[in-house]
Amino acid sequence: MIRKFQQFLVVMFVSFLPTVVCAVDDDLLWSLRTSTRPDPPPFESLKHGQQVRNAVDQFVLNRLEEASLEPAPHAARRTLVRRAYFDLIGLPPSPEQVDAFMEDESPDAWPRLIDSLLESKHYGERWGRHWLDVARYADSGGYETDIYYRNAWRYRDYVIKSFNDDKPYDVFVQEQIAGDELWPDNLDLDPRRVYIIPEKKQRHLEARIATGFYALGPRVHESALDAKRLAYETMTDWVDATASAFMGLTLGCSRCHDHKFDPFTQEDYFALHAIFASAREVELPLWNAMGEADWRQSYPRVLAVEEARKAYRLFEAKTAGQTLSPEQQTRKQELLAAIGQAVLALPEQTGGQATIPYDGLMHIPTASILGREHPALIRTVHLLERGELQKPGKPIQSALPVSLAIATQTPADLADPFTARKRFALWLTKKDHPLTARVMVNRIWHWHFGRGIVETPNDFGNMGQPPSHPELLDWLSTRFVDGGWKIKDLHRLIMNSATYRRSSRFGDERALVKDPDNRLLWRMNRRRLEGEAIWDSVHSAAGTINLAMGGPPVAPPLAGDEIASLREKWHWVVSADPAQHTRRGVYLLVRRNFQFPIFEVFDAPVTAVSCPVRDVTTVATQALWGLNNHSVFRQAMQMAGRIVTEAGDDRTAQIDRAWRIALGRPPTDDEAESSLLLLEDLETETAMPLKNPPETLKSVSPVRAQALTKLCLALFNLSEFAFVD
């Protein structure tokens, strides 16, 4: 009934647009109304008008003054530089980078710092990781067997590149939802170009890889045993992830009944299922005909491996239960060596000038993406009573949610299955779409301040929180769209405001009582670093961080107590090259069933569904990690070695250097003195020398080396190390 009425409205608005829209608008959820750009409160009317750096401040100060709250003063420059580095690139500034900013007295030092950080390739790693939370990114399927996703990382690298390229957000959305339909060029690569992929095709390739968003959700291994249910669960994942990530709506409830609080019906929900019913996951080969020819040419080498293994198995069967004679022992070793030699004879790259590495042992490089389901195999989507598969109701066609179609003055119908996703993506990125820009602008705000203007970034419905600064959100959103959906512009705008630059240490009693959660932003929020940023910081301080970008996920070695809960050892195949073990956190293997221990301890997102806001817990396992973890201790030794290299054997210089490296500031006099006392206390005659000190520590006495290491370990455990003011 409701739906009929809404469809009626859709038809009506074409002819009676103004009346109907107004009629609907009165009850419409705030987030479904098109934003209009409000004027910022004039700064002449503001008591603190002289503080205004840009319009952001006008909106924020206006609310503060209405509430009679005093804004915090500007943070110290030393605080700001650390804040900016962690915020934009997720890495601590080196002592030299801090000094350079401290010494830069020009008035545009701050905006230039922001610009240079936005140009850093590490920006995409930091902000791409934020998006990966939203995209429920993982390299495996979860559930019982946690099946491995060999090429999910291509989506991860796509996200990082998109942020670094400052890709307009509307394009970013379009690519992920319908890259295959919107950039449909034939990707068969021209063999005459040998191994080089022309730029236009690169563009289309990139858009296709973007749809990997859909290929990396949770998946049950035994799906063949319960195919209908699992297909349904996959579709549910796709629709829920789409709604959460791009629309800021939680539609999950509508699977079982009409949404109780938001204007979405069960029929709307299954109409979204229908949009995706014509898609299926496909493997896209990522190389050209020449590469494939190379692969075929070399294939007999794979056969050689197979035959060498068979030969060994035959020997094994023949000698089962026997004690091997010396000759047989020799034979066994020969057979094993033959396997090894055959494996080593496998080519690792295609030929030619621009070589492409094979995936694994000669596996063709591919990406898992969305493609078209064969028309004969497209399932009819039914409305399911209470969401139960056993209770199918009437068939449902692809369509936009009716209330949103009305709000955006778009016909809801998307009947043609092969353009449904494309039209859905284009509709979502219409300039006047009420949700898309608001949702993303709010996410950006959340990632800068630790809390969104809407505190529930994935729920812009009635059950979410209303915006704390609705006009500011609308002003930013409309400006974002009009400026070409550029995320880096948004960073500049936000970070150049006075609001962003306020001190977090301000403790105005009145404000603490009146607005303890700092909803009105009278000060900056102090941020606890995420697991990845803590990992990156420890390795940066130690000087061991490997800043290489991209590629397959890395698995650093784990201690015995860390792997104890691993289902099988193959789930964590340690990367052989030690240089890989100190890569940035964003490149480490993300298993749904086994989180990298330090990330788990520091609140890594649960990858089952889109994660809009990471938890920030304070638990004892974090302290245990900092005090006792094997890799933390190794990095403390490395940091001690770095300090010896950079500051020599003078204790005062060492202490100064250690604090600057770890915290971006020199120690206070008291801290320097207590550090010295600590070193003296540790440098006892009976102190054990370190068991495996790095080369860099060998130029000082073993007693000094162990004491300095322990001082570095203490610094890793400081609140100041894990928090950003």
Partner 1 sequence: MHPSSSRRDFLFQGGLGFGTLALGDMLHAEDIDPRSQDPLAARAPHFPATAKNVIFLFMQGGASHLETFDNKPILTKYDGQLLPESLQDFDLAQINTADAKVMASQFPFDKYGDSGVEISRLFPHLSQHADKLAIIRSMHHELFIHGSAMIMMHSGTSLLGHPSVGAWVVYGLGCESDNLPAYIAMTDGIFRNGASMYSSGFLPAVYQGVDMRAEGVPIQNLQRQSDITAGEQRLLLDQINAWNREHRQTRPGDSRLAARIANYELAFRMQTAAPELIDLSGETEATRKLYGIDDEPSARFGKMCLMSRRMVERGVRYVQLICGGWDAHGDCKGNHQSQAAKIDQPIAGLIADLEQRGMLNDTLLVWVGEFGRTPIRQGTNGRDHHPYGFSAWLAGGGVAGGKTIGATDDFGFNAVEDKVHVNDLHATMLGLMGLDHEQLTYHFEGRDRRLTDVGGENNLAQRLLQA
Quote the least distance from Cβ 69 to partner 1, whole Å: 13
| CA 4/CA 100 separation, integer angstroms | 65
User: Binding of partner 1 at residue 468 (CB under 8 A)?
Assistant: no
User: Binding of partner 1 at residue 166 (CB under 8 A)?
Assistant: no
Whether the Cβ atoms of residue 659 and residue 671 lie closer than 8 Å to each other:
yes
Residues 6 or more apart whose Cβ sits within 8 Å of residue 337: none
**Contact pattern for partner 1 over residues 670 through 699, marking x by CB under 8 A:** xx--x---x--xx----xx-xx--------
DSSP label of 366: E
Whether the Cβ atoms of residue 642 and residue 542 lie closer than 8 Å to each other:
yes
Which pair of structure tokens corresponds to residue 78? Answer: 């030393």
Judged by CB under 8 A, the number of residues near partner 1 is 97
Quote the least distance from Cβ 236 to partner 1, whole Å: 8
Whether the Cβ atoms of residue 559 and residue 598 lie closer than 8 Å to each other:
no
Site for partner 1 in 218-277 (CB under 8 A): 218, 220-222, 225-226, 229, 233, 244, 250, 252-253, 256, 259-262
User: Binding of partner 1 at residue 74 (CB under 8 A)?
Assistant: no
Whether the Cβ atoms of residue 554 and residue 589 lie closer than 8 Å to each other:
yes
Whether the Cβ atoms of residue 466 and residue 30 lie closer than 8 Å to each other:
yes
Query: Among the candidate windows 78-86, 97-105, 151-159, 453-461, which touches partner 1 by CB under 8 A?
Result: 453-461
Q: How many Cα atoms are found within 13 Å in the side-chain-facing hemisphere of 193?
A: 11
Whether the Cβ atoms of residue 521 and residue 511 lie closer than 8 Å to each other:
no
Query: Among the candidate windows 54-62, 105-113, 201-209, 602-610, which touches partner 1 by CB under 8 A?
Result: 602-610
Nearer to partner 1 among residue 229 and residue 363 (C-beta) = 229
Nearer to partner 1 among residue 179 and residue 218 (C-beta) = 218
Nearer to partner 1 among residue 419 and residue 462 (C-beta) = 462
Nearer to partner 1 among residue 28 and residue 678 (C-beta) = 678
Closest Cα partner for 385 from 271, 233, 270?
270
**Contact pattern for partner 1 over residues 474 through 513, marking x by CB under 8 A:** ------------------------------xx-x----xx
Which pair of structure tokens corresponds to residue 616? Answer: 């920030």
| CA 423/CA 346 separation, integer angstroms | 46
Site for partner 1 in 630-669 (CB under 8 A): 630, 633
Pick one of 200, 431, 567, 698: the residue that binds partner 1 (CB under 8 A).
567
Pick one of 594, 644, 662, 708: the residue that binds partner 1 (CB under 8 A).
594
User: Binding of partner 1 at residue 145 (CB under 8 A)?
Assistant: yes
Nearer to partner 1 among residue 10 and residue 249 (C-beta) = 249
Quote the least distance from Cβ 200 to partner 1, whole Å: 40
| CA 205/CA 202 separation, integer angstroms | 5
User: Binding of partner 1 at residue 573 (CB under 8 A)?
Assistant: no
**What are the distances in angstroms from CA 710 to CA 203, 486, 674?**
51, 46, 14
Nearer to partner 1 among residue 91 and residue 609 (C-beta) = 609
User: Binding of partner 1 at residue 709 (CB under 8 A)?
Assistant: yes
User: Binding of partner 1 at residue 627 (CB under 8 A)?
Assistant: yes
Quote the least distance from Cβ 138 to partner 1, whole Å: 10
Quote the least distance from Cβ 532 to partner 1, whole Å: 16
Give the DSSP H/E element, type plus range, for residue 306: helix 289-318
> Coil, strand or helix: which one is 611?
coil
Site for partner 1 in 527-546 (CB under 8 A): 528
Quote the least distance from Cβ 531 to partner 1, whole Å: 12
User: Binding of partner 1 at residue 562 (CB under 8 A)?
Assistant: yes
Nearer to partner 1 among residue 160 and residue 253 (C-beta) = 253
| CA 285/CA 189 separation, integer angstroms | 10
Nearer to partner 1 among residue 58 and residue 635 (C-beta) = 635
Residues 6 or more apart whose Cβ sits within 8 Å of residue 303: none
> Coil, strand or helix: which one is 383?
strand
Whether the Cβ atoms of residue 700 and residue 641 lie closer than 8 Å to each other:
no
Q: Is 386 left (phi over 0), alpha (psi -120 to 50) or beta?
A: left
User: Binding of partner 1 at residue 603 (CB under 8 A)?
Assistant: yes
Quote the least distance from Cβ 685 to partner 1, whole Å: 13
Pick one of 398, 629, 638, 654: the residue that binds partner 1 (CB under 8 A).
629
Closest Cα partner for 30 from 375, 461, 363?
461
- Amino acid found at 305: V
